[in-house]
A and B are shown apart, each in its own frame.
Chain A
Amino acid sequence: MWLPFLGLLLGIAFGLLTNIQIPTVYENYLSIAVLAALDTLFGGIRAQLQQVYDDKVFMSGFFFNIMLAAGLAFLGVHLGVDLYLAAIFAFGVRLFQNIAIIRRILLTKWDEKRHKKKIYP
C-alpha cells in the first residue's frame, strides 16, 4: 500500500537532489506532462475502485496522454495558437471529475461499512 508513496517521495528526492533543470522554453511542456500524468493516475485509481482497472490501458494512457499533451503544446507553439490551454482544460476538468468520483465511491464504501457494523456488531 505504501509502495506508491515511496515511489513518489523517491522521485521528488531524486529530482531535487540531482538538481536537473530544463530550459525555460520547455517549461510549458513539462507542466502539461505533469498534469497529464496526474490525470492518468487518478483515472487509474478510479478504475481500480470501479473494478475496471486494466494494466495495459493504464500504462498506455499514461505515456500516450503525456505525449499527446506535449505534442499539442508543441503544435500550438508552432501554429501560434495556445493549444496547450486545451490540454490544460481537458485534463483539469477530467482530474476534478475523477477525484469527485473517487470521493463518492469512498464515501459509499465507508457508509456501507458503518451500516454493516450496525447490523452485525
Chain B
Amino acid sequence: MKRNMYTRITIVLFIIGLMMAVQYNTIRKPAERDTRDIWAIREELSEEKKQHSALLAEIRSLDDVVNRYEQSEETNMQAVLNETVESLKQQAGLTDVTGPGVILRIELAPELVAMGYEIEEISPDLLIQLTNSLFKYSATNVAIDGNRIVHTTAIRDINGETTVNSVPLSSPPFEIHVGTNSYKDAKKMYNSLQASTFIDSFYLDNYNLIIEEPTYELTIPAFENSLTNDYLTEAKKGE
C-alpha cells in the first residue's frame, strides 16, 4: 500500500517537474529574434566577404614565404629569414618607410595670437581622434612630430605636456606625416581630411591645421625606442 503511494507520488512529481521545466523553457526561450532586413544582411555579408578576401591574401603571402623557405633550403636560408625579419620589422614600425603620403602641419593661428589668446597645449584627445581617423582613412604609417605611431604608442598628458611615446611634442608648428599604400589613397585621404571637421576642431583650440597636397615621396621615421612586450613569451619548439 505504502509502496504503491510512493510510486504514484513519484509519477505525479515527474509530471510536475516536466511541466515546470516546459514552462521555464517557454518563458525563457524567445530570447533573440533576428530582425535584420535584407539590406542589413547584405551589408554583413559584404563585411564578411571583405574579411574573407583579406584572409585569403594573407594565406597567399604566407604560402609564398613557405615556398621560398622550401626552395632555398640551406643555400640562402639566412637571407630569406632576414627578409622575413625585415618585413616583420616594417610591419611593427621599426624601419624608416618611404612612399606616398600626406603632410599635416599644425600651426598657431596667427590672428588668435595677435588677439592675445593664451595658447594652451594641444589636447591629447584631439590628437587621438585625428590619429584614429587617419587610420580609418587607410593610413599605413603615421608619425607625429617625428614620433612614429606603433601599436603600443600612447598619446597622453604627462604633467601638463602632451606626449607621444612619452616624448613631449615640440611647440607648434610641427608636422604629422601620414604614409599610405598608394598615391591614390593619399589623395583620397587628403580629400577626406579636407571634408572632415578637424580643421574646425583644431581652430577651437587656437591652432590651424594645414593639410598639404599629397606627395609621392614621404619618409616616415622609424620607432626609436625598443618595443616592450611584457606578456609574450617564446614558445618552445613543438608545443
Residues of A participating in the B interface, judged by any CB pair closer than 8 Å: 1, 3-16, 19-22, 24, 27, 30-31, 33-34, 37-38, 40-41, 44, 48, 53, 55, 58-59, 62
Interface of A is mostly: helix
In whole angstroms, how far apart are the Cα atoms of A38 and B14 in the complex?
12
B30 in complex: contacting residue of A5, A24, A37, CB < 8 Å:
A24
B23 close to chain A: CB less than 8 A: yes
B4 close to chain A: CB less than 8 A: yes
Q: Tell me which of A11, A15, A24, A59 has the highest count of chain B C-beta atoms within 10 A of its own C-beta.
A: A11
0/1 interface trace, chain B 1-16, chain A, CB 8 Å (1 if under)? 0001111111111111
* Minimum CB distance partner of B29 in chain A: A21
B40 close to chain A: CB less than 8 A: no
Instruction: Check B17–A7 contact: CB distance below 8 A.
Output: yes
Instruction: Check B4–A11 contact: CB distance below 8 A.
Output: no
In whole angstroms, how far apart are the Cα atoms of A37 and B22 in the complex?
14
A–B complex contacts, Cβ < 8 Å, 13 sampled: A4-B6, A4-B13, A10-B14, A12-B21, A14-B14, A14-B18, A15-B17, A15-B18, A16-B25, A22-B22, A34-B23, A37-B12, A41-B13
A7 to chain B, nearest CB (A): 4
Residues of B participating in the A interface, judged by any CB pair closer than 8 Å: 4-27, 29-30
A14 in complex: contacting residue of B17, B24, B29, CB < 8 Å:
B17
* Minimum CB distance partner of B25 in chain A: A21
Instruction: Check B22–A15 contact: CB distance below 8 A.
Output: yes
A7 in complex: contacting residue of B5, B11, B23, B27, CB < 8 Å:
B11
Instruction: Check A9–B27 contact: CB distance below 8 A.
Output: no
Interface of B is mostly: helix
* Minimum CB distance partner of B6 in chain A: A3
Q: A11-B13, A15-B22 are in contact. List 18 more A-B contacts (CB 8 A).
A: A1-B6, A3-B10, A7-B12, A11-B14, A11-B17, A13-B17, A15-B19, A15-B21, A16-B24, A16-B25, A19-B25, A22-B22, A30-B23, A37-B19, A38-B16, A44-B12, A55-B5, A59-B12
Cβ contacts under 8 Å, B8 to chain A:
55, 58-59
Instruction: Check A27–B26 contact: CB distance below 8 A.
Output: yes
A25 to chain B, nearest CB (A): 10
Cβ contacts under 8 Å, B9 to chain A:
3-4, 7, 41, 44
Instruction: Check A7–B14 contact: CB distance below 8 A.
Output: yes
* Minimum CB distance partner of B16 in chain A: A37
Cβ contacts under 8 Å, B6 to chain A:
1, 3-4
Cβ contacts under 8 Å, B26 to chain A:
21-22, 24, 27, 30
In whole angstroms, how far apart are the Cα atoms of A62 and B13 in the complex?
11
* Minimum CB distance partner of B23 in chain A: A30
Q: Which 6 A-B pairs have the closest CB atoms?
A: A15-B21, A11-B17, A7-B10, A11-B14, A7-B14, A12-B17
